[in-house]
Amino acid sequence: MKQKNFEVIIIGGSYSGLSAAMSLGRSLRQVLVIDSGLPCNRQTPHSHNFITHDGETPTAISAKAKLQVDFYKTVQFYNGLAIDAVKTQNGFEIKTESGALFTSKKLLFATGVKDLLPDIKGFAACWGISVLHCPYCHGYEVKNEKTAIVANGEMGFEYVKLISNWTKDLRLCTNGKSELTSEQTQILKNHGILILEGELDSFEHNAGYISNIVFKKGEKMDVKAVYARPPLEQHCPLPKVLGCELSEQGLVKVDFMQKTTVFGIYASGDATTQMRSVALAVSSGSFAGAAINKELIDENFK
């Protein structure tokens, strides 16, 4: 790639990054999208709750999006991993794993998050297929099925309440001693929801579709779906390297304009919110692109 200097560099070329790139490309900005090709939902068979794309594979959606963004000749793509970033007098310098250097006036992180999956055999293989995190994305497909929720305490209680909208055939697996209050425990019992405190050993499955939860004491429980919310971390460490403030949940803090706490740096998509969905990632990316363009206009119109 001959061009090294850009107005905007977007790190992350999935739904949010591509949406921002389209917004900026249509605003006649010189844009570089750097992407390593590892979206967090690459294992998920179908994407839902994104109107006009409901039921398509995540790969098909992103491939179509990239093709459409590529129409705008002010947008270029670099296939690689950004490994370092520094603030310069005029903006930012990004270094890739292969040693390539690029500069820009503005920077957008659309890099998503990495789920820290528990050490339960079969969990990773089922993640995004039959072990789910979002009922709005996947709940309809497992409605009224026998379902387990792996969680504890306040989060477990609230998660059960949420999922009960899609199925009443529920049980809560706390994976150890329950941390529910006595009141929460009674409420769940009143709704016929089992609380299982046994430690989890493994998930039996066929190509990611779960059939049984196996407990460490040897008991098995057949289920069709599991909901879980494992902890997460930023997929890319560079926002923190550049001084962007993170929330207690590990998300990049942004204001209503998708601006981070560091001037000139924006963030969008899953890296910034617990509401992880393709539709919301696209929305925040589009808005971030417009906000970045406005900031560049204001700086030049003096």
In the chain, the domains with their CATH numbers are: 5-115+231-300 (3.50.50.60), 123-228 (3.50.50.60)
Residues 6+ apart with CB under 8 A from 52: none
Task: Say if residue 222 is exposed, middle or buried (CB neighbours under 10 Å; 0-12, 13-18, 19+).
Answer: exposed
Please write the tens of the pLDDT for every residue from 129-156: 999 999 999 999 999 999 999 999 999 9
Phi, psi for residue 182 in degrees, rounded to 5: -60, -35
Range in 41-55, 107-121, 207-221, 283-297 with the lowest mean pLDDT = 41-55
Q: Which residue has the higher pLDDT, 44 or 107?
A: 107
Q: Which residues of 121-151 are buried (b: 16+ CB within 10 A; e: fewer)?
A: ebbbbbbbbbbbbbbebbbebbeeeebbbbb
Report pLDDT for 111: 96
Tell me the per-residue pLDDT of 44-63, one tens digit each, with 9 for 90 and over.
778 787 887 877 888 888 89
- The interaxial angle of helices 278-300 and 15-25, nearest 10 deg, is 30
CA 6 to chain CA centroid, Å, is 27
Angle in degrees, 0-180, between the axes of helices 15-25 and 58-69, rounded to the nearest 10 = 20
pLDDT over threshold 70, residue 243? yes
3-state secondary structure of 72: coil
Read off the pLDDT band of 43 (50, 70, 90).
low
DSSP 8-class letter at 25: H
Phi-psi region of 239 (alpha: psi -120 to 50; beta: other; left: phi over 0): alpha
**Residue given tokens 């207690």 in the structure block:** 248
β partners of residue 82 = 96
Total-model pTM: 0.91
Instruction: Provide the pLDDT confidence category of residue 42 given band limits of 50, 70 and 90.
Output: low
